[in-house]
Amino acid sequence: GESVGLHLPTLSVQEGDNSIINCAYSNSASDYFIWYKQESGKGPQFIIDIRSNMDKRQGQRVTVLLNKTVKHLSLQIAATQPGDSAVYFCAENTGGFKTIFGAGTRLFVKA
């Protein structure tokens, strides 16, 4: 069935380093992918998205890469800051209303 998962449940990085969070998806029909950040006690916050006709998209300090051949999605955070500590979810959408979330990766930023 459809599933979105993450390779690592936790990631610890030094402040100032770059972070890479990975995600695998299984539904080849998915055409829209989103990364969300969730801080403790809060709802998921939209970070960046990418459509299946793109390989890369950049935002402010964040880049999302999509490799459709191996069904892999990654989120790169440049110059990671303590405020980036959170759980990061990738999510996929096959068109329409239904968005499927993975289990999440917890990012720890060490000062």
Partner 1 sequence: DTGVSQDPRHKITKRGQNVTFRCDPISEHNRLYWYRQTLGQGPEFLTYFQNEAQLEKSRLLSDRFSAERPKGSFSTLEIQRTEQGDSAMYLCASSQAGEETQYFGPGTRLLVL
Q: Which residues sit at the interface with partner 1, rule CB under 8 A?
A: 4, 32, 34, 36, 41-46, 49, 89, 91, 93, 95-104
- What's the closest the beta carbon of residue 50 comes to partner 1, in angstroms? 11
Beta pairing partners, 90: 35
- What's the closest the beta carbon of residue 31 comes to partner 1, in angstroms? 9
Q: Based on CB atoms, which residue is closest to partner 1, 77 or 90?
A: 90
Q: Based on CB atoms, which residue is closest to partner 1, 12 or 45?
A: 45
* Contact by Cβ (8 Å): 36, 26: no
Q: Based on CB atoms, which residue is closest to partner 1, 4 or 64?
A: 4
Rg (CA), the chain: 13
Distance CA 24, CA 94 (A): 15
* Contact by Cβ (8 Å): 63, 56: yes
Q: Based on CB atoms, which residue is closest to partner 1, 19 or 105?
A: 105
Distance CA 84, CA 73 (A): 19
- What's the closest the beta carbon of residue 101 comes to partner 1, in angstroms? 3
- What's the closest the beta carbon of residue 42 comes to partner 1, in angstroms? 6
* Contact by Cβ (8 Å): 45, 38: yes
